Amino acid sequence: MALIERIQKDLTEAMMSKDELRLSVLRMIKSALKYKEIEKIRPLEDAESLQVLQTLVKQRRESVEQFARGGRQDLADKETKEIAILENYLPAAPSDTDLNAAIETAIAETGANSPKAMGAVIKAAKARLQGKTVDGKVLSDRVKERLAKMG
């Protein structure tokens, strides 16, 4: 079942069960996907749909950070619940072991030996982790830390 079909089905279920938070998140997802579809002037491929969802999760994480810093725990909690709903539609994140293995393989493939090669290593590691939800910041931080030990 395509992602948009699954979201539509879940949206209907959320309406029937009167789950307000889930309903609003699913409407937000559907809207974001529709905007992207209009922007592209064609139906989205699954990889593009997942990218939209990852962007929504990233925005929520940034909001949580801002709300927590601003002392608005109630809003931070709401955003955290939204992230949990969004993540149901994303593939699993790689484990620490998978992430480290991808980074090590990427370093070996690119012949990286200093922090200057960080971009190439990140690109190669992302390619290895294709199909998983990778937090770009976490990947970047890990690569930076690993390359700093070398250079």
Percent of the chain with pLDDT over 70: 96
More confident residue, 125 or 52: 52
pLDDT tens digits, 31-49: 999 999 899 899 878 778 8
Q: Is domain 96-150 given the CATH code 1.10.10 in the classification? A: yes
Rounded mean pLDDT, 91-114: 75
What is the predicted pLDDT for the residue at 5? 84
User: Is residue 21 a contact partner of residue 81, using CB atoms and an 8 Å limit?
Assistant: yes
Q: Which residues contact 81 (CB under 8 A, 6 or more apart)?
A: 21
Query: What is the Cα–Cα distance from 121 to 14, expressed in whole angstroms?
Result: 42
DSSP 8-state secondary structure symbol assigned to residue 132: S
User: What dihedral do alpha carbons 42, 43, 49, 51 form, nearest 10°?
Assistant: -20
Domain borders along the chain are 3-87, 96-150
User: Is residue 49 a contact partner of residue 31, using CB atoms and an 8 Å limit?
Assistant: no
82 has a pLDDT exceeding 60: yes
Q: pLDDT tier at 147 (50, 70, 90 boundaries)?
A: confident
More confident residue, 12 or 124: 12
Count the helices and strands in the chain (H runs, E runs): 7, 0
What is the predicted pLDDT for the residue at 150? 67
Q: Is domain 3-87 given the CATH code 3.30.465.10 in the classification? A: no
User: What dihedral do alpha carbons 94, 135, 13, 23 form, nearest 10°?
Assistant: 160
